[in-house]
Structures are given as structure tokens and as C-alpha cells.
Structure 1
């Protein structure tokens, strides 16, 4: 069964896959598996997009500083997959670093092409990174050097996700065969952030994978944040202070007869001694207005040798027996 496609993003090596965030042509059909319904809401995607874009900006700074070359990590889109479906999009060999996300359950996965991983080592050892990179697992020394970079990237990941969840990611291991990187069970739903990773003249597709079940409560809270008791009390105090100050704001008030309409000719011909006949009935109250809005009625009076207006019921209230 098909339905109109949601926005898609390039999925890097392997076949294209449905995306929750990203850009694509609208109207193109895609296969929809009702056994695996979409779990990421629009609100979840917005929260994730803010966090992942922040991570991409900070990671770009870390890569440029540590590798001493032009580097860029750019978010393409956010997708939902089963873990098996995601792994099937990756070529072999590939650089895959798993990490824990304490205090949340499960693991995360940071993946990018093996030649880019080798190039990072080349740059950190003072090389240009432009030479042909070997297609093999990293040596012990290369793994240690790469571990320093991964530690910095995971620190930036934690900082970018502070408004979502307080996590303390720790690198858990490196794999080169996607089938052996056991970051989740095959049927588990994962959130995949797709990136373009550029290092000097090299460019490849990178991805950051997170378990949906671990982040679902935090994403819902971040999308519809619940205020703490102290924050609620602070808002209440602010509302009371605002109401109190509003009651002290001076307001211009006018008491007027029913407005009179005259022609421009009569208005221009007025001279001293002319009389304008008001259309205001003798027994009708005057209007009490502010900013041209009538909010009460009054009758002419006096108070301590000054003219005054005594507030009276509105004409409608007098006529209404209720």
C-alpha cells in the first residue's frame, strides 16, 4: 500500500529510505508498512532538529580545531527506521562507533565512511589527509587517536541535547561490519539523523542513531514542557504584579452627549451666537468613554462646587426586568 511521501533526505550509501525530516519532492509515493507505524511526531522532529543542528555546528568547530583543516558537518534530515533496515543501508566496511547514553537505556551509534575515519587520523598526525587511505580496521594506536576525537564529539552531543535529556555518553566500541554493531535489536525503532561530513577535499554521508524508546518520554516533555512548581509560582507572582501595575495606569476618561452629525457647510458657517441643537434626549444619561469605547453611563451633577458625573445603570439594564 502507498501513501504520499513525507519529506526525505539522502540516506548515504545504500538505497534511499523514508525520512521524517529533510527535503524532497512532494507527492512521490513510498511504501508504508502498517506493522511499523511512524512514531516520530512533528513535534518530536522539531525538537530533534534543533538538537541535531546544534550538534552539527559544534561538531564542525571541534573537527576544524582538532584536524587543523576545513571541516563541516551538515544536517540533511531525521528519519525513523527499524535498526535492521538502517544497517541494511550501510556498506561494508564502514566506521561505526557505539556509545552508551546513561542514565537512559540503550546505545547510540555514530557512523561515517572508513576512509574519512582514516583521514581524521592522518590529519591528527600532521598529514594532509589527501592520500589514498587504506581500507582496513584501525590499529591500536589509530584507535586511541580516534578515541580522543570521538570523546570530544560525544561531549558536544551531550551539550546539544541538554534541553531534551541529560545524558552522559561514553564510547563503547568500534566496529567495521554493520551487521556486528549491536547498538539495538533488529526490530527496535531508531531515530537516524543523516549528515554530510566534509574533511578537506573528502566528503561522505554520516549518521547519528539513537533509540526511540529511550528518548520518547524526554522528547514528549521537550515538545510540551511542564513547568516546575517554582516556575509556576514565579509566573503567578509575575501575573499578580502585572495586574497590580495595570490598575495604577492612568486612563483618559470622557463624559459626552450622543454625538451630533452636521454637514461640512453648516460647520464652516458657524459664528459666535449660533446654536447647535443636540439630539440627546433630556432624560437620557451621558456616555462615559475611554479610547472611544463606552463603558458606563452617568448623569450631570456637581460635587464641592465642581461639575461631576454620577454613574447610573445603563439604559439596557433599566429596561431589562432581569
Structure 2
């Protein structure tokens, strides 16, 4: 977007040109030079703006689902939101994370390759403290994790992958599972250093602790599903109507659902004392005249009027009228 100059800035610029402090020719030359931009072919932008927008929408949904899941699981305040979505080289991503952090490496079956979710130690250990019955205080001991703590964190992050799968369901069905939990990024080599990755950064708060969660998705792993991230294709899939066979199957399933049908002979009110004194052959008088039609209910709704009778020796009712609803 072009910057708009205020009237004061315009006056100052004209004054500088008239006094000779600025040269119009130099300004034109500078403008031409600014049009030339350097381009690093080693760092090609392999994700289109359309695909970045789609990834942002998917992970905004993931952030909402993760907020709900962590709040319920940890029983404390949790807030997760997308802070940024960037594409950079894998080497730049590794250099950007702390030397000691929590790296959750997982496989998104059936895709070939691995993703990594880097969780700031403040957030990871606040989660661990809550899981162990604490108040959710942040502490740093990434280099001294015990086997029990590693196991608890692994199970915790496996549940977050179920939320990740749910967020991606509209685009691709994943079955993600934890592959490894690392603390030193220098030991983690998912792809070649120059490979392009997209990094989704989440601003996260757990109780009073706050930090970042970074999700790294290598281009080479999700390359086959990138065409599905087109906004046009995505909207078409959402608007796609059900296939006739699927609709018929759904209708048949609904038709086979059992319903309770009740024919009401009448009602009566008695006292507790009368109820306690009831015996065999006692008669209870109903409020329904014998000549009036019976009311037939389906579920909890009155749907028909009927008359009593017998059918092949069984007690039965014959529908005589359909009870209309408001608006019918």
C-alpha cells in the first residue's frame, strides 16, 4: 500500500526542493534503484500466497481445538492462537529455536516423512507440572528429563496430535503418531538444510506461563497435498452435495430407527393413601369418556387420534385422525 503524505510533509518536501537541500534528479535515481530487488535462488518461495492462507485457516482451527483440549486436560486457563505463518529454510528454523527445548517429532501417516512441533520449555514444563498435580509453574530442566517425565510429556503431546488430525480432516486424513522426543535441535535432521519449510508459530499461555509453540511442515512432505490447499478447490469441496447413494443410505438408516408408540387410555389422580391401599380387582376411574378417541403419542409428541379394538386376538388401536401441528 502506498504511503500517504500529510500536508506538513508535502510542504517540507517542497521547501527542501526549492532551497536546494534535495535534488529532484537524485530522488528519481533513488526510486529507480529501489525497484531492483535481490533474489536468493537457494531460498525459493515454494508455497504460494493462496496455500499460505489455507494453512493459516487450518491452523487457526487447530489453535481453537487445542485451546479447548488443553483447558479440559490440564484443568487450568489455556489460550493458543496463531502468531505467524512463514516459509524459510530448514536450517533457518533450526537456528531460530533454543539450544535446549522440547521437540516432538511425529509421522503424519500415510505421508512419507516427519513433522516437528517445537514447544518452549516454559510451556512444556507448565503442562508437566499440572499433570503431576502442581499449580502449572514454569521451570527449566530440559537436559535432565527423567524417564517418567519423558513418558508423561510424550502421552500429552500424542493427544495434541489427535487435535491436529481433526483440524486437517477437511483437507487430508492423517493418522499422526509420536516418533521421538528430542531436546537438542542439533541432533534433529528431518530434511536437508536448504529444504523449504513452513513454520506456524502459536502464541501460547498455560496458567501464568507463556511461550511459543512452533510447528514445522517440510515442503517435501506435504508437496502431494498442496493442490488441495487451493482456496477455490477447498470451497468447492465444502459445497459439494451428498452423492445420491450416500443420501439413500442415510435415509434407510433413519427409517430403521426404533420409535416408541403409546396409546393413552386416560389419566387419573389418586392420593398416596389410596395408592397404598390398592388391591387386586380394585377399579380406577379414568378421566377419559369411553366414547372419546384415544390419543396416540410417538416419542413424546401426540401425533394421532385412534379408537380401541382387537386385531387377531390382540389389543389394538385404529388411527382415525392425524393431529396437525402449528404451521402445517
Q: TM tier, shorter chain?
A: 0.5 to 0.7
Structure (1/2) with the larger helix percentage? 2
Structure 1 position 120 matched with structure 2 position 127: yes
* CA distance 1:132–1:119, change in 2 (3 Å): same
Query: Quick check: 1:137–1:176 contact (8 Å CA) kept in 2?
Result: no
Name the counterpart of 2:72: 65
Report the RMSD for the aligned CA atoms in angstroms: 2.7
Scaled by the length of structure 1, the TM-score of the pair is 0.59
Of 156, 175, 180, 1:149 maps to: 156
Measured after TM superposition, the shift of residue 165 of structure 1 is 1.6
Query: Quick check: 2:55–2:229 contact (8 Å CA) kept in 1?
Result: no
Measured after TM superposition, the shift of residue 79 of structure 1 is 0.8
Q: Matched residues in 1 for 2:149 and 2:192: separation?
A: 29
Deviates most, 206-215 or 133-142: 133-142
Name the counterpart of 1:180: 187
Of 162, 167, 171, 1:164 maps to: 171
Aligned 1:2-21 pairs, distance under 5 A: none
Structure 1 position 225 matched with structure 2 position 233: yes
* CA distance 1:82–1:127, change in 2 (3 Å): same
Query: Quick check: 1:192–1:208 contact (8 Å CA) kept in 2?
Result: yes
Give 5+ residue unaligned stretches, structure 2.
Answer: 3-33, 245-328
What SS is found at the alignment partner of 2:100? coil
Q: Matched residues in 2 for 1:222 and 1:130: separation?
A: 39
How many residues align? The count is 207
Give 5+ residue unaligned stretches, structure 1.
Answer: 5-26, 236-322
Following TM superposition, where does structure 1 have runs of at least 4 consecutive aligned residues deviating by more than 4 angstroms? 29-32, 231-235
Aligned 1:144-293 pairs, distance under 5 A: 144-223=151-230, 224-225=232-233
Measured after TM superposition, the shift of residue 232 of structure 1 is 9.2
Measured after TM superposition, the shift of residue 44 of structure 1 is 0.3
Q: Matched residues in 2 for 1:137 and 1:197: separation?
A: 24
Of 84, 93, 96, 2:100 maps to: 93
Q: Matched residues in 2 for 1:172 and 1:129: separation?
A: 26
Measured after TM superposition, the shift of residue 179 of structure 1 is 1.0
Measured after TM superposition, the shift of residue 133 of structure 1 is 4.0
* CA distance 1:154–1:132, change in 2 (3 Å): closer
* CA distance 1:112–1:131, change in 2 (3 Å): closer
Query: Quick check: 2:87–2:198 contact (8 Å CA) kept in 1?
Result: yes
Structure 1 position 136 matched with structure 2 position 131: no
The Cα offsets for residues 259-279 of structure 1, whole Å up to 9 and x where unpaired, read as xxxxxxxxxxxxxxxxxxxxx
